[in-house]
């Protein structure tokens, strides 16, 4: 989206898709060129057999070079996408003009058990006998009480038109994500110099993913980091406080007010 201004790419979190950022992207598109992607094993992107943040960063780097040549990008990543974005900035700093890390830290995430529950819930749904999306929501409610999170997860449930039985399928590689959940929650040991560009560290005030004790690790990798906490937001900052989020990101990108 957008035809002029800085190049911006959004990297979604676990179980997300690029389209989750559509509203924010539209809010930037008057003054920036915005790219939304489905990360590997999510949305319409290919599935892999293994997971690592350096591998994911390499794939994102290929896309950035294919789209922008030698241009530098503002990279904005949330949760898993935030760790991929940090990895990209550390390993491919020539591609990253500035970095925005949304509600995640360069440490092992304590909250990973929450995503284990989500996976158990999704895998408990019998796709072969599922009559409709409403029933999927009802079954998932036994594991995920928050209707907003259920709605987010069920965006990944699609009718399989290629199947003779016209059944359902998950867009994401659920089994691989389940098997590598520990690695996704962890932080890779990267032999890299600190990233010298500006970094915005955005936290949801009600979230536990960015803690005071994580500041030293963040500053070790990103010495030019600036932390901003958004009131009234948990882990999904951009969907819980979209107007505030958009305003902060526009200022960070140096865009004129729309």
- pLDDT band for position 257 (cuts 50, 70, 90): low
- Of the candidates 195, 198, 196, 194, the one whose C-alpha atom is nearest the C-alpha of residue 249 is 198
**pLDDT at residue 165 is higher than 80:** no
Predicted pLDDT at 166: 62
Predicted pLDDT at 159: 86
Predicted pLDDT at 140: 95
- pLDDT band for position 162 (cuts 50, 70, 90): low
Quickly tell me which residue has 């359902």 as its tokens.
168
Predicted pLDDT at 134: 94
List pLDDT tens digits, range 185-206: 999 999 899 999 999 999 999 9
Predicted pLDDT at 53: 97
Q: Are 229 and 203 in contact (CB under 8 A)?
A: yes
Predicted pLDDT at 172: 93
**pLDDT at residue 100 is higher than 80:** yes
Instruction: Give catalytic residue positions.
Output: 79, 175, 235
List pLDDT tens digits, range 77-96: 999 999 999 999 999 999 99
Please, is 161 exposed, middle or buried when counting C-beta atoms within 10 Å of its C-beta (0-12, 13-18, 19+)?
Answer: exposed
- Give the strands of the sheet with 96-102, arranged side by side: 33-36, 7-11, 73-78, 96-102, 199-204, 225-230
41-50, 107-116, 132-141, 219-228: lowest mean pLDDT where?
107-116
- pLDDT band for position 68 (cuts 50, 70, 90): confident
Start-end of H helices in the chain = 22-28, 53-68, 80-91, 112-123, 133-140, 147-154, 174-179, 181-185, 215-221, 237-240, 242-253
pTM for the full predicted model: 0.93
DSSP assignment, residue 207?
A: -
**pLDDT at residue 164 is higher than 70:** no
DSSP assignment, residue 58?
A: H
Domains of the chain: 7-109+186-253 (3.40.50.1820), 112-179 (no CATH)
Predicted pLDDT at 33: 96
Main-chain dihedrals φ then ψ at residue 7, nearest 5 degrees: -85, 130
Among residues of the chain, what percentage have pLDDT more than 70? 97
Q: Are 209 and 203 in contact (CB under 8 A)?
A: yes
**pLDDT at residue 113 is higher than 90:** no
Predicted pLDDT at 161: 66
**pLDDT at residue 258 is higher than 80:** no
- pLDDT band for position 109 (cuts 50, 70, 90): confident
């Amino acid at each position: 989206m957008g035809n002029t201004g800085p190049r911006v790419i959004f990297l979604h979190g676990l179980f997300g898709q690029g389209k989750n950022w559509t509203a924010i992207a539209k809010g930037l598109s008057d003054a920036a060129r915005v790219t939304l992607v489905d990360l590997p094993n999510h949305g319409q992107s290919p599935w892999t057999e293994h997971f690592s943040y350096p591998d994911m960063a390499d794939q994102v780097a290929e896309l950035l070079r294919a789209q922008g040549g030698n241009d530098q990008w503002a990279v904005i990543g949330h949760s898993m996408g935030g760790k991929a974005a940090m990895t990209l900035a550390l390993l491919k700093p020539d591609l990253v003009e500035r970095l925005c890390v949304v509600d995640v830290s360069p440490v092992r995430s304590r909250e990973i058990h929450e995503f284990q529950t989500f996976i158990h819930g999704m895998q408990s749904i019998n796709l072969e006998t599922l009559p409709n999306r409403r029933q999927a929501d009802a079954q998932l409610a036994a594991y995920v009480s928050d209707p907003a999170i259920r709605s987010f997860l069920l965006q990944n449930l699609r009718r399989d038109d290629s199947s003779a039985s016209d059944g359902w399928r998950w867009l994401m590689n659920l089994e691989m994500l389940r098997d590598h959940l520990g690695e996704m929650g962890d932080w890779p040991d990267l032999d890299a110099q600190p990233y010298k560009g500006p970094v915005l560290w955005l936290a949801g005030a009600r979230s536990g993913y960015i803690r005071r004790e994580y500041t030293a690790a963040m500053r070790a990798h990103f010495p030019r980091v600036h932390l901003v906490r958004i009131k009234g937001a948990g882990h999904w900052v951009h969907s819980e406080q979209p107007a505030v989020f958009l305003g902060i990101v526009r200022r960070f990108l140096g865009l004129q007010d729309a």
